[in-house]
Amino acid sequence: MTRRRPPLALLLPALLTVAGVLLPLAYLLIRALGAEGTELREIVFRPRNLELLANTLLLTGSTLITTTLVALPLAYLAARTDLRPRRALMLAGVLPLAIPGYVGAYAMLAASGPGGTIETLTGINWPGPTGFWGALGILTLFTFPYLFLNLHAALRAQDPALEDAARLLGRTPAQTFREVTLPYLRPAWLSGALLIALHVLGDFSVVSLMRYPTFSAAIYQQYTAAYDRVYSAWLALGLLLVTGAALLLEARLMRGLHLARVSPGGAREVRTTRLGRARPLAWAFVAALTGAALIVPLGTIGYWLRLETNPFAWASLWDALKSALGAAAIAAVTTTALAFPLAYIGSRAQGSLARFTERAAYLGYATPPLAFALALVFFSLKVAPPLYQTFPLLILAYTLHFVAEAVGPIRTSLSSATPRLEEAARLLGQTSRGALARVTLPLIRPGLLVSAAFVFLSVLKELPLTLLLAPIGFETLARNVWAYTEEAQYAAAAPYALALALSGAVLTLLILRREHRPAPRPPRPPKEQA
Amino acid sequence: MTPILQLDHLSKRYAPGHPPVVNDLNLSVSAGELLTLLGPSGCGKTTTLRLIAGLEQPDSGDVLIGGRNVTTPFAPPERRGVGLVFQDYALFPHLSVLGNVLFGLSHLPRAQRLPRARETLALVGLTVFESRRPHELSGGQQQRVALARALAPRPTLLLLDEPFSNLDAQLRHATRQEIRSILRAAGTTAILVTHDQEEALAFSDRIVLMRAGQAEQIGTPHDVYTQPRTAFVANFLGRSNLLSGTADRHMARTALGIIPLQEPRSGPVLVSVRPEHLRFTDDPAAPEVTIQAREFKGHDITYTVTLDGNRQELLVHGPSDDLRPEGSRARLSVTQPARPVQ
């Protein structure tokens, strides 16, 4: 069978995506290298760079360890034990994703310290989170769901025959877990860990509030306070290098991992372990986690909400909500429109072209948003100054950054709209464009809607791109939580934080539904195999 | 001599209220024997295997391996000395072929592990593939790795759960013979689970025909085939014509006339007549049939015929040099004593 090249109309978006991400980054490089010789040497060999690098790596590595220590036991409890209700465990594992890191940091700060919620309600002076440990704790609590989702799905999908085989070859349950289950979980851990690493590397808000200097925190500080362009360009480059190294490391570790089920044949349901006397211990773990990641933040927001007495607060909330919803809606449409051709090529084309479009989509997602925003600031000021701090540029940034999020659901739905159906439409007299419009697009409408919803809710929570690129006076929920928290006006931040947590919860439940769909097998007693 | 395996009133149901999957099963297997559990889907054969392996716990009854009771107290799978070849092989995808085979040898002194693994791989003829990963092997090769992995620890008892069902017809035949001779050479006691009657007949010393969690009949392939105890056995193992009639000692009156019986009976009786024990004849006293369909199979022909009297359908094997057209008429005679069944 011959492979036809996809039409240029579809290829163009992929090329534009790559150009849209790479051109600003290239300009960032030019900008960074454009400094005078002595100035350059002074910047590159500043001892602070090493300190930032060490802090960034230490925080990323530590977060990977702590999130694993939280996510793995919880995923095991939800996937493999008789702890019930399972739905509650799933929610405990996923809902913290609803709380953006800066809202979590806000809540923890507002809960602790003198005059905080905890002291006022109980009289105990609970120290506020700060520095490395504060950043580590908050990032762990609100990013571990990325790992939880991956590990849980893998634990549910593992062929139980592998563990049975190990037992029959003389391994105890503990040895079986170590020698069979853990190696099997490696690819799931790697892809979840990459998401967390990208998140931690790109986060400036939590580390800034915790006063723990990393590359991202330093870029933000340079941008707002010092505004040394060359130095912030160098810092952004440093961040890009670390991110690139993380991507390469993950791809390297992932290579040659063929851990999908090797053999054909029907698989049994995974077996559940009876917890027995460990049950109270398991519940204590879940309760402590839920308390720290959900109840304390939401309780704190509720507490401060009652203290908000500004009569204009609700009117401002309404204004911020309107502009945030408007921007999110437009970005959802543009991003989904860009994601469709990328997903289409990714699922229909073969070989290097498909890989290229896939990478194009992930390029914008993997680029730390602060570095990307900075690059866009420099680029627009140089190439098209009227675009700087305009709404279209902001939407462009959202689109390029979130397109990867929209590609996934469209690709999944494209697998049900097979090329056979388009061929059938062609034989019935449709042009290739007509077949696309009358057969494929209607079939993948649910996927398009899910993609748009993902992007919509992600844009609502987005902070760094909004802070650096939004037009002056453009207020969003995220921007206001950030601004009031920086000023320690906890009551004023509360309404925005609540609105964000609620919209985040909707996104999270969407993810949860998608997570459940691929394995709709109802629980049933094991059956004889034919 | 103590049997290698003994099942004693073994019962298992998966949920209260559900019918038992294994129902009061008794069985004993002696050393070196190749035994087959044969039956239709859902008859409880795989569950029986999993009960023996310790992957399920019985509701009642006992499993004795080498005379040791492993159900009360319950011995976990790793302490039973039982090997299992899974239907889908369950090879560890993160380990090489050699790593898979070495996996079960950790109880051996370090110096003996590698020689033992290589020796077992040589037995299945896969030494050259030892550094490959499972996904780089063909289905038949994966199958043999699974066998080597299960055999390497020298289990007292080897269980095989439909091990040939994922292989294509030709490979299945060859692998079956090969594995049978490997097991014979190693002197291994083995239990095979299958729903393929041809496989059961060719592979085993004894067959256990299972139905609804119980052993319907146990015996050598020859005995079970020639002397089925029930109509179910007669039909599941090979094809059979079942005729009702009235018996008087060694003869029975049926729609095919008066035919001899293998065993004396009296009163109403159901008899099984194999298709190869029916023959077309010119005897004018024989009952008349109409040929409905013809299946040419090379070495012989299977005819589907209907009896003129009661319109009952019968299967007849005829030699391939005696072609009879569909729709033609003929007469039938019985060449061997029929088997009374329940």
pLDDT tens figures, A76-126: 999 999 988 988 999 999 889 888 999 999 999 988 887 788 888 888 888
Nearest to B78 among A171, A186, A527 (CB): A171
* CATH code for the domain defined by B5-233: 3.40.50.300
The closest alpha carbon to B153, from B199, B112, B93, belongs to B112
- Tokens 């299967």 belong to residue: B315
User: For strand B34-38 and strand B22-29, is the pairing parallel, antiparallel, or unpaired?
Assistant: unpaired
Q: Give yes or no for B17 touching A (CB within 8 A).
A: no
pLDDT band at B206; cut points 50, 70, 90: very high
User: For testing the chain A interface, which of B87, B145, B159 should be mutated: the one with the most A CBs within 10 Å?
Assistant: B87
pLDDT band at A268; cut points 50, 70, 90: low
Q: Do domains B5-233 and B239-341 have the same CATH topology?
A: no
Predicted confidence (pLDDT) at residue A237 exceeds the cutoff of 70 = yes
Strand order in the sheet with B214-219: B82-85, B157-161, B190-194, B34-38, B206-211, B214-219
Predicted confidence (pLDDT) at residue A473 exceeds the cutoff of 50 = yes
Chain A nearest-CA distance from B1, in A, is 26
Q: Is the peptide bond preceding residue A85 cis, with omega within 30 degrees of 0?
A: yes
pLDDT band at A63; cut points 50, 70, 90: very high
Q: Does B90 contact A165 at a Cβ distance shorter than 8 Å?
A: yes
Q: Averaged over B119-123, what is the pLDDT? A: 89
Question: Greater confidence, A157 or B146?
Answer: B146
Search chain A and give the residue with CA nearest B13: A525
Predicted confidence (pLDDT) at residue B185 exceeds the cutoff of 80 = yes
Q: Does B89 contact A263 at a Cβ distance shorter than 8 Å?
A: yes
pLDDT tens figures, B224-240: 999 999 999 998 888 89
Nearest to A528 among B41, B104, B153 (CB): B41
pLDDT, position A431: 74
| Burial track A491-508 (b if 16+ CB lie within 10 A, e otherwise) | bbbbbbbbbbbebbbebb
Chain B nearest-CA distance from A261, in A, is 7
**B67: helix, coil or strand?**
coil
Q: In chain A, what residues touch B150 (CB-CB under 8 Å)? A: 168
pLDDT tens figures, B89-119: 888 888 899 999 998 888 889 999 999 999 9
Size of interface A-B (CB pairs under 8 A): 113
Q: Does A159 contact B83 at a Cβ distance shorter than 8 Å?
A: no
Search chain A and give the residue with CA nearest B108: A170
pLDDT, position A265: 45
Q: Give yes or no for B78 touching A (CB within 8 A).
A: yes
Q: At what angle do helices A47-80 and A131-157 cross, to 10 degrees?
A: 40
Q: Does B135 contact A262 at a Cβ distance shorter than 8 Å?
A: yes
Q: Averaged over A144-173, what is the pLDDT? A: 89
pLDDT, position B115: 94
Please state, rounded to an integer, the average pLDDT across all residues of chain B.
89
Q: Which amino acid is at A435?
A: A
pLDDT band at A515; cut points 50, 70, 90: low
Nearest to B53 among A168, A265, A266 (CB): A168
pLDDT, position A525: 36
pLDDT band at A1; cut points 50, 70, 90: very low
Nearest to A265 among B15, B83, B87 (CB): B87
The residues, ordered by sequence, that sit 6+ positions from A286 with a Cβ below 8 Å of its Cβ are: A74, A77, A83, A88, A89, A92
Give me the phi and psi of A428, to 5 degrees please: -95, 15
Question: Greater confidence, A132 or B166?
Answer: A132
Q: Give yes or no for A255 touching B (CB within 8 A).
A: no
| Burial track A41-51 (b if 16+ CB lie within 10 A, e otherwise) | eebeeeeebee
Q: In chain A, what residues touch B15 (CB-CB under 8 Å)? A: 525
pLDDT band at A514; cut points 50, 70, 90: low
Q: Averaged over A416-422, what is the pLDDT? A: 75
**B315: helix, coil or strand?**
strand
Percent of chain B with pLDDT over 90: 39
Q: Does B47 contact A267 at a Cβ distance shorter than 8 Å?
A: no
pLDDT, position A521: 33
CA–CA gap between residue B59 and residue B14 (Å, rounded): 9
pLDDT, position A256: 67
Search chain B and give the residue with CA nearest A529: B41
pLDDT band at B324; cut points 50, 70, 90: confident
Q: Give yes or no for B77 touching A (CB within 8 A).
A: yes
Q: Does B54 contact A161 at a Cβ distance shorter than 8 Å?
A: no
pLDDT band at A48; cut points 50, 70, 90: confident
User: For strand B190-194 and strand B214-219, is the pairing parallel, antiparallel, or unpaired?
Assistant: unpaired
Q: In chain A, what residues touch B165 (CB-CB under 8 Å)? A: 265
Chain A nearest-CA distance from B135, in A, is 6
CA–CA gap between residue B124 and residue A32 (Å, rounded): 64
Predicted confidence (pLDDT) at residue A388 exceeds the cutoff of 80 = yes
CA–CA gap between residue B124 and residue B188 (Å, rounded): 14
Predicted confidence (pLDDT) at residue A261 exceeds the cutoff of 80 = no
DSSP A42: H
Nearest to A530 among B76, B103, B195 (CB): B195
pLDDT, position A72: 96
Q: Count CB neighbours of A232 within 10 A.
A: 25
Question: Greater confidence, A84 or B4?
Answer: B4
Percent of chain A with pLDDT over 90: 29
pLDDT, position A2: 37
pLDDT band at A519; cut points 50, 70, 90: very low
Predicted confidence (pLDDT) at residue A397 exceeds the cutoff of 90 = yes
Q: Give yes or no for A169 touching B (CB within 8 A).
A: yes
The residues, ordered by sequence, that sit 6+ positions from A1 with a Cβ below 8 Å of its Cβ are: none
CA–CA gap between residue A124 and residue A120 (Å, rounded): 8
Question: Greater confidence, A466 or A412?
Answer: A466
pLDDT, position A520: 32
Q: Averaged over B320-337, what is the pLDDT? A: 87
Where do the domains of chain B lie?
A: 5-233, 239-341
CA–CA gap between residue A184 and residue A42 (Å, rounded): 48
Chain B nearest-CA distance from A274, in A, is 14
Q: In chain A, what residues touch B139 (CB-CB under 8 Å)? A: 264
Chain A nearest-CA distance from B298, in A, is 30
pLDDT tens figures, B237-292: 888 999 888 988 888 988 888 889 998 988 899 999 999 999 888 888 888 899 99
Is CATH 2.40.50.140 correct for B239-341?
A: yes
pLDDT band at A257; cut points 50, 70, 90: low
Q: Averaged over B299-306, what is the pLDDT? A: 90
